[in-house]
Amino acid sequence: MIAQAGVINSTGSQMTFDDIYQENADMILNLAYRMTGKQEVARDLTQDIFVKVYEKSDSFREQSKISTWIYRIAMNHILNFIKREKRLSFLDFMEQDTKTVREGTVTVWEQNLPTQPDKALEDHEKENIIRHFVEQLNAKYKIPFLLFRYEEMSYQQIANQLGLSMSAVESRIFRAKKKLAEKLKPWQHRL
Amino acid sequence: MKNDKIEQLLNKKAKSPTPGLTPDPFLATRIAAIADGKKQEKAGGALVSNWSFASVITAFAVVLGVYFGSAILDSEVQNTDDVFSEYSQAFYQTGFAENFETTLDSGGSEE
């Protein structure tokens, strides 16, 4: 266990769980937030990820960087969450009233959509609109596109991460762009 | 032309428009507590299941004992045998009251 024994990182120094958390929490929380757009969800995911890190610390191999190892755990956890999300939101819908569900599912991008019509959009506003529409895509297209556009991953890295072939990744990203272009048509005069 | 613009926009890599969040500085402590709690829960669960198993076995043994005990009491089986009766007669000590009774009985019969 990290907390009791500590782990030796790649530079040879001993790290406690608290050290590991302080060093990586920012990266993981913001990764979860970038991928989900929901603050509460991102915080919950971060907690789950670090619980996993704490429990799996015995399986950490010192050859790799601890941040790389944590990033891999986090990415798997977040991607699983995104794949399950639709089913979860349906179950929530069954249990709560529509308004509560709506409030819980609004992403930061939807909240920040530009409201002034016919005003030239700034770069971050354009990106916000794109991100809002990416969120509406099926997870099959959304995940590869997100990893490509915002996580600076190559097609090969995405293929490895998702267990897909390179051609499958290319085709999914291509189709994601096509679907997005359709959705962005009403906004094209402002982009 | 405008479609090209959208295409260009979508082809490039970009910085995420998501604002930054600050992590909770105390989460590490809470996580350690959660994980340790889970571990204790598991250990406690095993202990409880051991205890409950032992209790069930004990209760079963008691019930079984009572059942067999009452079955023996109710049975018509002769529990004494000749050896036992010889043994008890050999060691049987007559008491003062019985001797007195015998004396009285014999006195009465003489009259």
Q: Do A112 and B17 touch (CB under 8 A)?
A: yes
A190 reaches B (C-beta below 8 A): no
For residue A101, give the amino acid letter.
V
CA-based nearest residue to A117, from A173, A20, A189, A16: A189
Contacts of B21 in chain A (CB under 8 A): 29-30, 33, 39, 42-43
A141 reaches B (C-beta below 8 A): no
- Convert the pLDDT of each residue in A110-158 to its tens digit: 877 777 666 667 778 888 899 999 999 999 999 999 999 999 899 999 9
CA distance A122 to A130: 13
- Convert the pLDDT of each residue in B50-72 to its tens digit: 778 888 999 999 999 998 888 77
CA distance A4 to A12: 17
CA distance A93 to A99: 10
Q: Per residue of chain B (111 residues), what is the pLDDT tens digit?
A: 557 788 888 998 888 888 999 999 999 999 888 888 877 777 776 666 777 888 899 999 999 999 888 877 766 556 567 777 777 777 776 666 777 777 777 775 544
CA distance A145 to B13: 10
Contacts of B4 in chain A (CB under 8 A): none
Q: Do B16 and A127 touch (CB under 8 A)?
A: yes
Contacts of A181 in chain B (CB under 8 A): 3, 6-7, 10
Going from the C-alpha of A45 to that of each of A7, A33, A36, A146, B21, the distances in angstroms are 23, 9, 10, 18, 13
Q: In angstroms, what separates the C-alpha of A166 from chain B's closest C-alpha?
A: 17
